[in-house]
Chains A and B, each alone.
Chain A
Amino acid sequence: MSIIETKNLTYTYPGGTKPSIKDVSIKIEKGEFVLITGPSGCGKTTLCRCFNALIPNFYQGELEGEVTVIGLKVAEHQIYEMAKHVGLVFQNPENQLFALSVEKDVAFGLENLGVPREEMRKRVDSALNLTGIYDLRERAPHELSGGQQQRVAIASVLAMQPEVIVLDEPTSFLDPLGAKRIFEVIYDLNRKLGVTVVLVEHRLDLTAKYANHIVIMDDGRIVLDGEPRKILSSEEARLIGVGIPKPTRLYQILQKDRVSLSNTIPLSSDEMATMLREVLKS
């Protein structure tokens, strides 16, 4: 059974004239690293909000269709029930940290759930270690860099031990190096802990190599859905204006020029480099 499944999901924000997402049906399997991308305003954020009941409980509005997460029908549950299963990390790291110390922030969700103190201590420490911010635990959030703040946000979601972590453009406030580190942390969580990751991101150059499932949206609809190598090398993806990774694009151009390369489409510079080395050798 899929861990997240949406069926014909259509949603209009209160006061909105047209739906932000239309007829969205996707399936996400357990342990997948899913990348959702598409032009700004295409409904990616709206879709994320459907996964943990923020839609329709926090934002009213009109929802049709159905979302099921871990067998729970999202519309029938409160946000705090869903929060145990789906962790959401937002775009602006500053606006999702409330406490005066990192440690306290990571504990916030657990405190709300009423987890006993000893258990809480253990979970907080392990979340801090997994995201590599254990040394920052007594600092105040506003003293940290954007990248560190975003790692705190991830740790605070992680401490609640959700099955799915949804990250909505977590790196748009960060510099390239900070972004790269965040992606590495996320990938580690996916690989080592088997957490299902749903990542909304424009920077495909940095993230495509981690994904094993990619969804491209445009104007509220799912346009492409499937295996990254196949989708990113397709003509449609390029026309929508998705930031195709440069190695993939280079591969396409070279193929057009009938340079014979191997059949696996590269997603990262490393893959491209090995491929070119082989060609140059022969």
Chain B
Amino acid sequence: MSVFDGLKFRRVYSPIHNLDPRIKFIYVCAIFTTAIIFLELIPLMILFLMQVPFVILAGVKREWLRSMRGATFLAAVIFLTNFIFSFISAGYIVTAFNLEHAVAMTLRFIVLVESFSVFFLTTSPDHLGLALEQTHIPYEFCFAFTTAVRFVPVLAEEAQTIMDAQKARGLELERGNFLKRIRNYIPILIPLIVSAIRRSLELAEAMESRAWGATESRTNLYVLKMHRGDLVLIVITVGILALAIYVRLFLGIPSMNDILGRFFEPQYF
């Protein structure tokens, strides 16, 4: 099932994959904040380009491009609404400035999507669960998270089996109007839910049999340790934030129009 392909994490080893997920998450948040505090095109372009070396280092170019392609529709919507609103508010004229503004807003969205997809593409769910655990989130929640991820492919396969079985009995999924089509899925959903409940009971039994809840001070096979790479990332993160705040507060940012304008409008010379 292609829908679930995105949820299957591919185990890859790269300097980025090995980074501590907590630090990576802080980095993503820093990029997020920086993208929010700038409205201008140039800093957003810099932020966008800054992610590219991460993607290349992590070796997840193809997956990354796929997730970026997935964002194009929303990006187009954002561009159009921004453009139309500024078009109307500017008195029904297209100006280079409102065009630039719409591009900047779109780029801001793309930067957000980009940085989050880099995070999720390079962090294994296992690692993420471990990070949750070591930030002292109650173990029950971390367990629920990793178990949910673990059972996504299992349930997807089961849904497929049930669909095949019901189709073999003459259920037609692709028939009728919109409402009818939704109703067609009921004979799939009910067995799926029932079997998920039954599965959860078996899981609970197996958990109990393996000493679930034996002690408050649970130990862990793995431990997250900070490496040199993580320190480098911390420095980069702090640097980006500091620079962004400095530029925002004390420097004027030229717009693309100002720079390009010098070439296009020779009368100033």
Contacts and interface: CB of A to CB of B under 8 A. Distances in A.
Interface string B195-230: 000010011111111111111011111110000000
A161 B125 CA distance: 29
Contact of A104 (B126, B212, B214): B126
Contact of A99 (B150, B214, B218): B150
Nearest to A98: B147
A58 B146 CA distance: 23
A98 B150 contact: yes
Nearest to B222: A104
B62 interface: no
Contacts of B218: 111-112, 114
23 contacts: A52-B209, A57-B208, A58-B205, A79-B208, A83-B214, A95-B202, A96-B203, A97-B150, A98-B206, A98-B207, A99-B150, A100-B124, A111-B218, A111-B220, A112-B210, A112-B211, A112-B212, A112-B214, A116-B219, A117-B219, A117-B220, A120-B219, A140-B150
A94 interface: yes
Contacts of B205: 54, 58, 90
Interface of A: 52, 54, 57-58, 79-81, 83-84, 87-88, 90, 92, 94-101, 103-104, 107-117, 120-121, 124, 138, 140-142, 156-157, 160
Contacts of B129: 100
A110 B150 contact: no
B210 to A, nearest CB: 4
Nearest to B157: A142
Given A95-B202, A142-B150, A114 B217 contact: yes
B28 to A, nearest CB: 21
A183 to B, nearest CB: 21
B125 A100 contact: yes
Nearest to B223: A117
Contacts, number: 109
A138 B11 contact: yes
A120 B221 contact: yes
Contact of A96 (B11, B124, B202, B221): B202
Interface string B106-149: 00000000000000000011100100000000000001001101
A83 B211 contact: yes
A117 B214 contact: no
B209 A79 contact: yes
Instruction: Classify the interface of chain B: helix, strand, loop or mixed.
Output: helix
A280 to B, nearest CB: 50
Given A83-B210, A112-B213, A142 B219 contact: no
B176 to A, nearest CB: 35
A141 to B, nearest CB: 7
B154 interface: yes
B203 A109 contact: no
B181 to A, nearest CB: 30
B59 interface: no
A101 B210 contact: no
B209 A95 contact: no
**Which of A84, A101, A121 gathers the greatest number of chain B CB atoms within 10 Å?**
A101
Contacts of A112: 210-215, 218
Contacts of B202: 90, 92, 95-96
A81 B211 CA distance: 7
Nearest to B210: A109
Contacts of A95: 199, 202-203, 206
B262 to A, nearest CB: 56
B208 A54 contact: yes
Contacts of B208: 54, 57-58, 79-80, 83
Nearest to A94: B154
A124 B221 contact: yes
Contacts of B154: 94, 142
A116 B220 CA distance: 8
A142 B153 contact: yes
A236 B265 CA distance: 105
A171 B244 CA distance: 61
**Which of B125, B129, B217, B222 gathers the greatest number of chain A CB atoms within 10 Å?**
B222
Nearest to B203: A95
Interface string B18-51: 0000000000000000000000000000000000
A80 B209 CA distance: 7
Contact of A141 (B150, B206, B207): B150
A34 to B, nearest CB: 18
Given A87-B209, A124-B221, 14 more contacts: A54-B209, A80-B208, A80-B212, A80-B213, A90-B202, A95-B202, A95-B203, A95-B206, A96-B206, A112-B210, A112-B214, A117-B223, A140-B150, A157-B209
